[in-house]
Chains A and B, each alone.
Chain A
Amino acid sequence: MTAPVQSPEQAGRVLRALYAGYGYQPFRVQKFERYELYSEFRRFLATEKVLTFTNTDGRLMAMKPDVTLSIVQTPQPEGLRKVFYHENVYREQRPGEGFREIPQTGLECIGALDGYAVGEVVMLAAKSLAAIRDSWVLDVSHLGVVMGVLDEEDLTEEKRAAALAAVAAKNVPALRQLGLGGAAKALAGLTALYGPLSETLGQAEALPLPGRSREALGELRALAEQIALYDLPNVHLDFSVVNDVAYYDDIVFRGFVEGAPSAVLSGGRYDKLLQRMGKTGGALGFAVYLDRLEDARAPRPACDGDLLVCYAAAEDIPLAVQTAEAARARGETVRVQAQPPKTLRYRRVLRVQKGAVTEC
C-alpha cells in the first residue's frame, strides 16, 4: 500500500524522482514560444486556443499550451534521448472556462526507439499512476489495429473521423449506422473488448482482422510480454483509446486513478510529428495532468487547525505563547491571536486571561 498522493505538488515531486530513477534527464523549456510553432502543429495540441501576446520585437509569442512540441523542436542528439519535465502549461480545459495555468509532468523518449524503450515508457506510465494511487488503470491500444480495419473500406475522411469518434465513445450503435461495410462488425468487436492486456489481446487475436491490424496486434503482444516482466496487473487493453490520427498511429495509452473522474495521464507514439518537423526516428511520451488529481484528493479536513489560543490582554501573551509551544511540541498545529477568526475552525479553542487557561 502506498500512501495516496494528496496534492499536485506532491505528485510532481514523486513522479520526477521516479523518472530520474530510470535515467531520464530533467528538461526545462522556456516559458514562451513562438506562436508559429503551435499554429503549424495545431492538431497535435489538445486545445485549439493558445494564449498569445506580442513580444517587444513585434513577434507573436504564446504561453505554451503543451510541452512536447517545445522538446521535439530542439536539436536531436544521436541515439536515444530520454527526458522528463515539470512545467506549467496554459490552456482552456473546458469550453467557456477561460485560460488556466495547469501543472503538467511527463516524459519523452525520442530518437532510436526500440521495443525495450517503448515498453519502458508504457511501464513508467503505469508506475506513475501506481505512485499516485493504489487503485489505478492504464488503458493501452495500438491505433494500427483500428486504422487497419478502416483501411479495408473505401471511406471518406469525414466517415473515418466519425468512425474513430464512435470507437472513442464505445458507441457501437453509431458504428452500425455509419455505413462502414464490413468494418462496422470488426470495430464493434474490438470496441467491446476490455480487460487485462495479455489476456484480452488473446481475444483480439482470435478476431478476423486484416493484415495491418494483425501487425499492430503483434506489436501489442511484444509490449505485453515486456510489461509482464514488471508487477503491473492493471495495464488493460482498450481500443477506445484514440488520439489524433494526424500525429499518432501507433501505441497510445491513457491512465486513470480512482477518484479522478477523467484520465489523468495521456500518451502515445508520435513518429509522424517528428517526420513533419523533418526529423528521423521515433518518439513516444506521456503527460500527467496534475490538476486533475485535485478531484481525487481526500475529503477536506473538518478543521483548519488543531488548536486556537486567544489571549485577552498584552499581559496574557507569555502564558499564551507557553501554552501554544507546549501544544506544538506535541505535534499540534496552533494559531495564536487576540480575537478568534470568524471563518476558521479549530478542534480546540483555549482562552488565556489573567493567568488562567480555559477551554471554550
Chain B
Amino acid sequence: MPLAGPVIRFLAWTVDLACILAASFLLDRVLRAVQVVQPDAASALSILGYFVLSTGYPMALEWLWRGRTVGKRLLGLRVVDEEGLRLQFSQVAVRNLLRAVDSLPVFYLVGGATCFASAKAQRLGDYAAGTVVARSLRMAPPDLESLGPAPYNSLKAFPHLAARLRRRVSADEAALALQCLLRRDRLEPEARLRLFKELADRFRSMVKFPDEAVGGIPDEHYVRNVVELVYGKE
C-alpha cells in the first residue's frame, strides 16, 4: 500500500485540530448555561472536556473507524498495522500518546523529521506502535476517453509487433506517456514537441514497425498509438 508522507499527514492533523477546536467551542457554548448556576463546575468541565477531546479524539476515532479520523478520511489516509494485521487498541493508544514527543518543540517538528528520515514514513509514535499511515486508493482505470476521438492506429495492422511492443513497454513508461498525452495542451509548443520526440524515440527503439505503418506519423500521434495499444483501447 502506498504510504502517506509527512506533509499530507500534517494536513490531516490540521483538519483534526480544527474538529477538536470546533467541538471545544460547542462544549463551551453548552457549558454557558451551567456557568450561570455553577461557574466553578462549568470551568472545570471545560478544562476536562478540552483535555478529553484533545487526547481522546484521535484514539477513539482511530479505534472505532479502524485507523481513520475525520482528517484522515477527508485526505484518504488510514493507520494500518505494519504487517497488515488488524489494528489493536494498544497500538492506537501508544501511537497517539507518543504525540507528546512527536509534537515537540512545536508543530510536530520531531515527528515530521522522523517521518522524513524513516523509510516507512513513520513518526516516533508509529515506530513504537508498529503502525504506518497508508493512502486509501480508489479505482482509477486509465482515462483514455479524455484523449478525444481516436484517429486511425496504423500500428494495429501489425498485431505481432504490437504484442511485442506491449510486452516491452513498462508500466511506468506507459503511465508517463498517458499523462503526457492528457496534459499535452498545457505544454509550451516547443516543450511539447521535444517531449513527444523523446517518448516516440524511446518507443521506436523497443520495436521497429515497417515504414508503411509509421512513415510520416508525427511523434505525438505515434505515442498516442502506442498508448492505445498498451491499454487495449478498441
Q: Indicate whether A and B interact.
A: no
Task: List the interface of chain B (C-beta within 8 A of A).
Answer: none
Task: List the interface of chain A (C-beta within 8 A of B).
Answer: none
